[in-house]
Amino acid sequence: MSFWRTRQGVGVLLIVLAALAFAGLDTATKHAVTLAPVLMLLWFRYVFQAVVTFALRFPVQKQTLLTTPNPRFQALRGVLLLITSACSFFGLQYLPVGEFTAMVMLSPLVATALAAWVLKDHVSPQRWLLMAMGLCGVLLVVRPGGQVFSWALLFPVLLVTTYAWFQVLTSRLSGEENPYTTHFYTGLVGALVMSPIAVFSWDTAALLAHWPWFMLIGFLGTFGHLMLIRAYMRASAPVLTPYLYTQIAFATFSGWLVFKHVPDTLAWFGIAVIAASGVGNALLSAQELAMQRRAMATPA
């Protein structure tokens, strides 16, 4: 049987689709913030997710879509992703898409460190070394005198922190929650929090004039996360995570295609180091999982 017809093969295809959607989301956002208020775009992105997820899943799940044993964790998870999105929407006003994405992809490594601290997970020396390698890559991208060195670097720094906590909490909730319920509450929490805030920068004329961009941002954000859900329902994280780093390539290409931005030589090297550390982290996870399975299968 062809690999692409297996569950793992389909999962890989879905994760690449998610990476493509997220790169497109960042590119569309960078352009849309020049046309409409950021807070309105952020509000619409979560309203779209809540409404579409409810419309697609409620006929299938009925009341179970709304049932959660962890309402406080769902609320906290929604707020963390909202802060992450806000950092992305504001940060992309000032930073190139490719470099911004590369820095953000450090999140899984930071989440590993947080899991070691909060969940008491064991972290091997090799993983700490990969984490240091990723940080070195970020320093090459954001070095003084480089193309992206500015106060706006605070946005990806905060984003990496909040998204890492988001990933740790998602890991904590996995197995206890229906993924579509979590997806719905993520959109609902973001929409409820942003509704009173968006009023202060409301611009009906911008919404009517540029509604396709609102729709595109809402669709790409919702579609990307749905593809993530469906991918992880078919294959494990160690198998899928290396393919998430295709988002860096997609984002860099779209940044060149739409905004004519090309990273300088050291930034290219830093991006490659970040991607290599992330892929190495995922491959190490796959190796550890295989060793655990072999140990369980070996008779005492």
**Per-block mean pLDDT, blocks of 10 residues, the chain (300 long):** 67 87 94 94 96 94 90 90 93 86 77 67 72 75 63 84 81 75 93 95 94 96 89 74 79 86 79 78 70 67
Gap between the Cα atoms of 164 and 53, Å rounded: 24
pLDDT at 20: 92
pLDDT at 146: 58
Gap between the Cα atoms of 3 and 7, Å rounded: 8
Residue 285: which H helix or E strand, with range? helix 265-297
pLDDT at 261: 83
pLDDT at 157: 83
Helix, strand, coil distribution of the chain in percent, nearest 5: 80, 0, 20
Report the Cα 14 to chain-centroid distance in Å: 14
Largest CA distance in the chain: 71
Gap between the Cα atoms of 108 and 281, Å rounded: 9
Q: By the 8 A CB rule, do 48 and 188 touch? A: no
Q: Choose among 159, 201, 158: nearest CA to 43.
A: 201
Q: By the 8 A CB rule, do 142 and 273 touch? A: no
Domain count, the chain: 1
pLDDT at 5: 67
Residue 259: which H helix or E strand, with range? helix 246-259
Q: By the 8 A CB rule, do 256 and 106 touch? A: no
Neighbour tally for 276: CB within 10 Å: 15
Q: By the 8 A CB rule, do 133 and 284 touch? A: no
Gap between the Cα atoms of 91 and 96, Å rounded: 9
Handedness of CA 184, 187, 192, 193 (dihedral sign): positive
Q: Identify residue 289 by its one-letter amino acid code.
A: L
pLDDT at 21: 94
Q: Choose among 250, 185, 276, 245: nearest CA to 26.
A: 250
pLDDT at 118: 64
Q: By the 8 A CB rule, do 234 and 11 touch? A: yes
Exposure on the CB side of residue 262, measured as CA atoms within 13 A: 2
Q: Choose among 75, 65, 56, 47: nearest CA to 187.
A: 47
Note the pTM of the prediction, 2 decimals: 0.82
pLDDT at 137: 76
Domain region containing 135: 3-297
Gap between the Cα atoms of 113 and 117, Å rounded: 6
Buried b / exposed e along 257-266 (16+ C-beta atoms within 10 A): eeeebebeee
In Å, what is the CA distance from 217 to each residue of 18, 30, 209? 14, 10, 15
pLDDT at 4: 58
Gap between the Cα atoms of 43 and 283, Å rounded: 37
